[in-house]
């Protein structure tokens, strides 16, 4: 789908030979395509916490591979001891970031393997853990490709598309969620004009989405986050496509800070607002957006990270929520690998479980 250039094909992968989690270091992009081989739990934790690997699906896959690598290092034949040390490793990785449900979903799946196979020797459980991590990795590739197909059915050649943060191949294993329809369209000769919101404060839109789309030869324009209303007012945007970190059972969508504002503006201008996410991002245990924990990150990301010298006065209060909640009633449709869900989402998502 994407022309890879200097990029490895997959954003997140397991290297069995070196027992490493291999990632593209997203903090270095777009200046440098740097591939990291992470072998210790501390390196993997730090990679997730500092956003070297980021985006809900990619975090889930990284955690699955990470906890498999932790399991390999547990030297015991006793299941109870193995399980207890596995749970410690799992809890450590689970504490790296709080919001994207894919992290917990993937770790749950991995622990399920340990619990269901209590009667096997530990060596057998370790190979089943490797298989499960590989399945989580491969399922993401297939799910994102299917999201691309379903999403492409909602947009037209030549449209202006606004997106936010990076819900592209860098946020998943290979194809992306919100950007998958754009990559797929490109492959089929469509010409979209994509506007990428820069996404303060960590600039995932300006750095990552712009890089990824330009690599694929897609017409890309970066705007500051406060310019979204202007481009919609000018009639340049025919659809907004965003990703999601956790969708509540009522369809409220938690995504990168700034997403809910875009949904409000899109409603004002009559522009359809689509959330693209694999079903692994739907959390039926959380009834509504209020129940989702929103990560708050360090003040320095706002006051100094991108400036030659500190920009805001010392001692000023800083509020840095990394995500916000878009109420379900502002979402035109949710694009999953299993099809396009329409409101009311409580019903359409419940139907997915049947």
Within 8 A by CB and 6+ apart from 329, the residues are 343
171 is a site residue for ligand MRU (CB under 6 A): yes
- Region for residue 295 given its phi and psi (left: phi exceeds 0; alpha: psi -120 to 50; beta: otherwise): beta
Q: Which of 245, 252, 283, 324 is catalytic?
A: 245
Rounded Cα–Cα distance for residues 100 and 257 (Å):
13
Which region, judged by CB under 6 A, interacts with ligand MRU, from 39-47, 212-220, 239-247, 307-315? 239-247
Q: Is 216 a catalytic residue?
A: no
Sign of the four-CA dihedral 17, 20, 26, 32? negative
Q: Minimal CA–CA distance to 291: which of 101, 93, 15?
A: 101
- SS3 at position 56: helix
CB 183 within 8 A of CB 169: yes
Burial class (CB in 10 A: 0-12, 13-18, 19+), 259: buried
Residue list 203-232, contact with ligand MRU (CB under 6 A): 204
Query: What count of Cα atoms within 13 Å lies in the side-chain half-sphere of residue 278?
Result: 32
C-beta of 205: minimal distance to ligand MRU in Å?
10
Please give the C-alpha separations between residue 52 and each of 43, 128, 172, 342, in angstroms, as whole numbers. 10, 28, 13, 34
Binding letters toward ligand MRU, positions 16-45, x by CB under 6 A: ------------------------------
243 is a site residue for ligand MRU (CB under 6 A): yes
Rounded Cα–Cα distance for residues 32 and 133 (Å):
28
**Residues 20, 22, 29, 57: which binds ligand MRU (CB under 6 A)?**
57
244 is a site residue for ligand MRU (CB under 6 A): yes
CB 35 within 8 A of CB 24: yes
CB 175 within 8 A of CB 145: yes
286 is a site residue for ligand MRU (CB under 6 A): no
146 is a site residue for ligand MRU (CB under 6 A): no
151 is a site residue for ligand MRU (CB under 6 A): no
Number of amino acids touching ligand MRU (CB under 6 A): 18
DSSP 244-259: -SEEETT--EEEETTH
**Residues 2, 96, 172, 280: which binds ligand MRU (CB under 6 A)?**
172
CB 254 within 8 A of CB 327: no
C-beta of 235: minimal distance to ligand MRU in Å?
25
**Residues 24, 167, 253, 334: which binds ligand MRU (CB under 6 A)?**
167
**Residues 11, 250, 255, 280: which binds ligand MRU (CB under 6 A)?**
255
322 is a site residue for ligand MRU (CB under 6 A): yes
**Residues 24, 63, 64, 100: which binds ligand MRU (CB under 6 A)?**
100
- SS3 at position 242: strand
Q: Which is nearer to ligand MRU, 54 or 137 (CB)?
A: 54
Rounded Cα–Cα distance for residues 214 and 248 (Å):
33
Q: Which is nearer to ligand MRU, 249 or 254 (CB)?
A: 254
C-beta of 276: minimal distance to ligand MRU in Å?
8
**Residues 177, 220, 250, 279: which binds ligand MRU (CB under 6 A)?**
177
256 is a site residue for ligand MRU (CB under 6 A): yes
Q: Which is nearer to ligand MRU, 122 or 331 (CB)?
A: 331
241 is a site residue for ligand MRU (CB under 6 A): no
Which region, judged by CB under 6 A, interacts with ligand MRU, from 118-126, 163-171, 229-237, 267-275? 163-171
Active-site residues, by number, are: 245
**Residues of the shown chain interacting with ligand MRU in the complex, contacts defined by CB under 6 A:** 51, 54-57, 100, 165, 167, 171-172, 177, 204, 243-245, 255-256, 322
């Amino acid at each position: 789908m994407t022309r890879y250039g200097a990029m490895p094909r997959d954003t997140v992968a397991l290297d069995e030979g070196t027992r490493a989690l291999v990632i593209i270091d997203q903090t270095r992009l777009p200046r440098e395509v740097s591939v990291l081989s992470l072998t210790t739990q501390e390196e993997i934790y730090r990679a997730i916490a500092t956003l070297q690997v980021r985006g809900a699906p990619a975090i889930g896959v990284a955690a699955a591979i990470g906890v498999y690598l932790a399991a390999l290092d547990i030297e015991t034949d006793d299941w109870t001891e193995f399980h207890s040390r596995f749970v410690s490793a799992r809890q450590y990785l689970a504490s790296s970031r709080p919001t994207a449900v894919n992290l917990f979903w993937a770790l749950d799946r991995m622990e399920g393997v340990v619990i269901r196979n209590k009667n096997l020797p530990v060596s057998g459980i370790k190979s089943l853990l490797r298989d499960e991590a590989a399945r989580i990795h491969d399922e993401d590739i297939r799910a994102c490709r299917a999201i691309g197909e379903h999403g492409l059915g909602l947009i037209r050649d030549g449209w202006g598309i606004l997106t936010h943060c990076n819900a592209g191949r860098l946020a998943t294993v290979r194809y992306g969620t919100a950007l998958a329809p754009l990559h797929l369209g490109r492959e089929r000769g469509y010409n979209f004009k994509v506007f990428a919101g820069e996404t303060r404060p960590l600039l995932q839109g300006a750095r990552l989405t712009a890089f990824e789309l330009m690599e694929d030869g897609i017409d890309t324009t970066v705007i500051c986050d406060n310019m979204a209303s202007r481009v919609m007012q000018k009639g340049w945007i025919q659809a907004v496509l965003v990703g999601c970190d956790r969708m509540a059972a009522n369809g409220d969508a938690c995504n990168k800070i700034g997403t809910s504002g875009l949904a409000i503006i899109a409603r004002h201008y009559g522009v359809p607002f689509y959330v693209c996410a694999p079903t692994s991002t739907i959390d039926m245990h959380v009834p509504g957006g209020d129940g989702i924990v929103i990560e708050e990150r360090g003040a320095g990301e706002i006051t100094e990270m991108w400036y030659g010298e500190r920009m805001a006065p010392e001692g000023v209060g800083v509020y840095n929520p990394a995500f916000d909640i878009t109420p379900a009633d502002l979402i035109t449709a949710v694009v999953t690998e299993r099809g396009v869900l329409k409101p009311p989402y409580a019903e359409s998502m419940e139907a997915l479980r049947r």
